[in-house]
Amino acid sequence: MSADSKVQLTALLRAALKSIAPELADTPIHLERPKQAGHGDFATNLALQLAKPLRRRPRELAELLLAELPRSTLVAATEVAGAGFINFTLAAGAKTAAVGAVLERGAEFGRGARNGTSVQLEFVSANPTGPLHVGHGRGAAYGASLAAVLDFAGSDVTREYYINDAGRQMDILALSTWLRYLALHGVDIPFPPNAYQGDYVVGMARAMREGHQDRFAGFTAEQVLEGAPGLPIAERKDDEAKTQREDHLDMLIANAKRLLGEDYHFVHGFALNEQLGDGRDDLEEFGVHFDKWFSEKSLFDTGLVDRAVAELEKRGHVYLQDGAKWFRSTAFGDEKDRVVQRENGLYTYFASDIAYHLNKYERGYDRIIDIWGADHHGYIPRVKGAIAALGLPPEKLEVTLVQFAVLYRNGQKASMSTRSGEFVTLRELRREVGNDACRFFYVLRKSDQHLDFDLDLAKSQSNENPVYYVQYAHARVCSVLEQWGGDAAELRGAQLDLLGNERELALCARLASFPELIQNAAADYAPHQLAFYLKDLAAEFHSWYNAERMLVDDPALRLARLALAAAVRQVLATALALLGVSAPQSM
């Protein structure tokens, strides 16, 4: 049931195909694992593929293919099923061989050969304007697991975080911190409702006061509020009120820059570094590591934003309207054209995103993968359109979307708004349920599917908790091997042909499928497939453990069963590690 078995079976079918239809010898041969165990180990629809060109019934062609199939010790039984599918049951030896392969290769079992493909994977990239929340956590877990799977499958992966350290949001954070700092010095200014509200802002203000005393104080409320329009009452939610609040905020930012002068850059940098450092530490503690932290500001400092927009202009994809420069993104499938440079000369976020992707292409990666929140779905056509407009192949960029996880505590849905300050941080979640449960639960579903995070289940020590169930399987094997107390090297010499009952062969088949699973998960950008695999492998192991004794009196059978258990333990540990989850030896 290993990848080698699939290759061998494909070769046997190819030989049969050449015999009955040499003119169609290059027909692709697809082998799938049937969903029902009773249908064998592999199935092919080759006869159905041949029916039309050969003008014969599929079942008749299936019988012909089996008649011409070269004899092999690999195959124990064959059958024609349904409309003309061919089912294959492999010999027991082909399945148990996987145990020896796992014990031989250890943690390298399932690792693909290096394929020479360079992949740039950008994920999380949250604005450093506050602590990471549980929504960011899902993107972090998915991205880190996907990177690990791609690397294990054979690609060279660069993990990258794009730092939004330029633009208005950082100015709002700098202003919010300064206003809280002024309040600590007795300057009473109504705190804008659209500034950053969280306690972490007060914490930064206190840290700034402790480190620099009154260096950034000495201003009156009148100076800070000079020229700022009055705030509408809080109850007003109309567009005019929203505009007034934003204008008020922009004037406060302008006043802060004017009053502080060069010191404004320090306040801005202080807030950025505090939040960026907090995010780095949080991710590192979560087991999420990056090879490169890329600064948005560097795109402006190096002139790349200017160059990217100029190139779009040169190619005729930018026009001037109402004093602003617009990218003609409707020509590339977007719903409307997009501003890249405002009438005041400032570039938009979209302009820096174009420059950032130009930089990615110029770095020469074979594949570029962006992981975005699902709310950015509409952003895909405009970014790909800009890439195409620059004369670059848009198909090289692939965007995967991640739905934010929704956290439920005591049946109550938690809000996660960074600006309002009412959010549950990733750090809080990790402290409550642990890293392992976080990492595993986050990848239990496809990334673009809605995820409800059940805290009660994540903290429970029961078979219903999938991470507990999988880790318990690993710990159980450790316990059995400890009770045995023998030399692990002996296991490689076990008589694997003694593994003959249904549960043992099913476990062997599951182990053998692991290398193929890795390749599929990498190709589909789907680390959740590993979570499903782990649940199935753990369930099959627990079933076997409960039905059979490991430490039987017969030395040969004991060694064979221990070898199988050790192989299960190894694959559990490898797959858990790819998902960033620990494999405990006792529980």
Considering its fold, how many domains does the chain have in total?
3
Rounded Cα distance between 18 and 11, Å, is: 11
Is 183 within a domain? yes
Closest CA to 84 of 111, 31, 48, 116: 48
Q: What tokens does 461 get? A: 């020590």
Q: Which residues lie below 8 Å from residue 220, measured CB to CB, with a gap of 6+? A: 187
Rounded Cα distance between 537 and 531, Å, is: 10
What's the 3-state SS for 502-526? HHHHHHHHHHHCHHHHHHHHHHCCC
Closest CA to 429 of 445, 407, 460: 407
Rounded Cα distance between 131 and 134, Å, is: 10
Rounded Cα distance between 121 and 371, Å, is: 8
CATH number of 79's domain: 3.30.1360.70
CA distances from 149 to 241, 495, 541 (A): 49, 32, 23
Find where tokens 């595993």 sit: 440
Closest CA to 440 of 552, 317, 560, 575: 575
Are the CB atoms for 178 and 223 separated by under 8 Å?
A: no
Is 231 within a domain? yes
Find where tokens 């409309």 sit: 83
Of the three residues 90, 108, 140, the one that is the final residue of a domain is: 90
Of the three residues 233, 259, 276, the one that is the final residue of a domain is: 276
Q: Are strands 75-81 and 292-295 parallel, antiparallel or unpaired?
A: unpaired
H/E stretch holding 326 reads strand 324-327
Is 566 within a domain? yes
Identify whether residues 175 and 78 lie together within a single domain. Answer: no
Write down the pLDDT at residue 363.
98
Is 349 within a domain? no
Are the CB atoms for 39 and 81 separated by under 8 Å?
A: yes
Determine the Cα angle at 311 with ends 346 and 165, to 5°: 40
> How much helix, strand and coil, in percent to the nearest 5, is found in the chain?
55, 15, 30
Is 518 within a domain? yes
* Residue stretches of the chain with pLDDT short of 70: 1-3, 414-423
Write down the pLDDT at residue 169.
93
pLDDT tens for residues 92-133?
888 999 999 999 999 999 999 999 999 999 999 999 999 998
Collapsing DSSP to helix, strand or coil, 121 comes out as strand
Question: Could you tell me the pTM of the whole model?
Answer: 0.90
- Which alpha helices (DSSP H) does 363-445 contain, by range? 379-389, 426-433, 435-442
Identify whether residues 183 and 81 lie together within a single domain. Answer: no
H/E stretch holding 56 reads none
Identify whether residues 482 and 574 lie together within a single domain. Answer: yes
Determine the Cα angle at 113 with ends 107 and 118, to 5°: 110
Write down the pLDDT at residue 409.
75
Of the three residues 59, 90, 121, the one that is the final residue of a domain is: 90
pLDDT tens for residues 17-76?
999 999 998 999 999 888 887 788 899 999 999 999 999 999 999 999 999 999 988 898
H/E stretch holding 30 reads none
Are the CB atoms for 423 and 415 separated by under 8 Å?
A: yes
Write down the pLDDT at residue 81.
92
Find where tokens 């059940």 sit: 454
In a 13 Å sphere around the CA of 45, the CA atoms on its Cβ side amount to 8
Q: Supply the Cα-derived Rg of the chain in whole angstroms.
A: 30
Neighbours of 112 (CB within 10 A): 16
Strands lying side by side in the sheet with 367-373: 292-295, 156-163, 118-122, 367-373, 397-402
Is 386 within a domain? no
Are the CB atoms for 550 and 513 separated by under 8 Å?
A: no
Write down the pLDDT at residue 314.
97
Q: Report how far apart the first and last C-alpha atoms of the chain are (Å, whole number).
A: 32
Is 329 within a domain? no
**Which domain range does residue 230 map to?**
168-276
Closest CA to 351 of 377, 402, 313: 313
Write down the pLDDT at residue 91.
87
Write down the pLDDT at residue 419.
52
Q: Which residues lie below 8 Å from residue 295, measured CB to CB, with a gap of 6+? A: 163, 165
Is 367 within a domain? no
CA distances from 41 to 184, 251, 253, 271, 423 (A): 71, 69, 66, 58, 48
